[in-house]
Amino acid sequence: MPKNDEPDIVFLERDGRSIRQPYDDPLVIVLRVEEFNIHWMLIDNGSLANIIYSPAFQQMKLDKKRIKPFTSPLVSFTGDRIIPRGIVTLTVIAGTYPTQVTKNIDFLIVDYPSTNNIILGRPALNILRAAMSTYYLKVKFPIAYGVGEIKGDKF
């Protein structure tokens, strides 16, 4: 494929071969963030922010000097107002070699109970130029010569 052509991102029936229907599972994936494989990463195209929960950030043992101030409150699903600890830019690798992409993505650090480690919201999905399918439990994104993909974790 010529480098200037945009690949078509499509979901085909074969994308769902290993998924037993019916189900209503959330789209949860594993991604490489900095030097860590982060499990329990929720894809949420309804979220206006990318969030990393404090326990996950602390386990990564990154330099706290990387945290920049961020004082605008977030409103949770329950209506609670949450002030993030700050914002941090992390390197995210989506996909597996050779169909992968590396991007720097900003995450709000949040002290709030969650079963997830990270929420990838619309800002990250847009940076990755990603399309998601909850039906196929998959995320696809353009790479230099084709389309990369991430399969969701089935519970």
- 73-113 tens-digit pLDDT: 988 777 888 999 999 999 999 998 889 999 999 999 999 88
Asked if residues 141 and 95 have their Cβ atoms less than 8 Å apart, the reply is yes
- What is the reported pLDDT for 126? 97
- What is the reported pLDDT for 58? 95
Q: Counting Cβ atoms within 10 Å, is residue 46 exposed (0-12), middle (13-18) or buried (19+)? A: exposed
Residue 60: domain span: 26-143
- What is the reported pLDDT for 20? 79
State yes or no: pLDDT of 2 exceeds 60: no
In a domain, 117, yes or no: yes
- What is the reported pLDDT for 47? 92
In a domain, 149, yes or no: no
pLDDT band at residue 4 using 50, 70 and 90 as cut-offs: low
- Residue 38 belongs to a domain with what CATH number? 2.40.70.10
**Could you tell me which residue, 149 or 155, shows the higher pLDDT?**
149
In a domain, 5, yes or no: no
- What is the reported pLDDT for 145? 86
Comparing 1-10, 67-76, 111-120, the range with the smallest average pLDDT is 1-10
Provide mean pLDDT across the span 125-138: 94
Dihedral (Cα; 109, 113, 115, 120), 10-degree rounding: -30
Q: Round to the nearest angstrom and report the end-to-end CA distance of the chain.
A: 36
Fill in the DSSP letter of residue 112: S
Q: Based on the structure, what is the number of domains in the chain?
A: 1
pLDDT, averaged across the chain = 90
In a domain, 148, yes or no: no
- What is the reported pLDDT for 103? 97
In a domain, 2, yes or no: no
- Tell me the per-residue pLDDT of 11-36, one tens digit each, with 9 for 90 and over: 999 988 888 777 788 999 999 999 99
> Residue 7, Cα to own-chain centre: how many angstroms?
21
Query: Rounded CA gap, 119 and 49, in Å?
Result: 8
In a domain, 15, yes or no: no
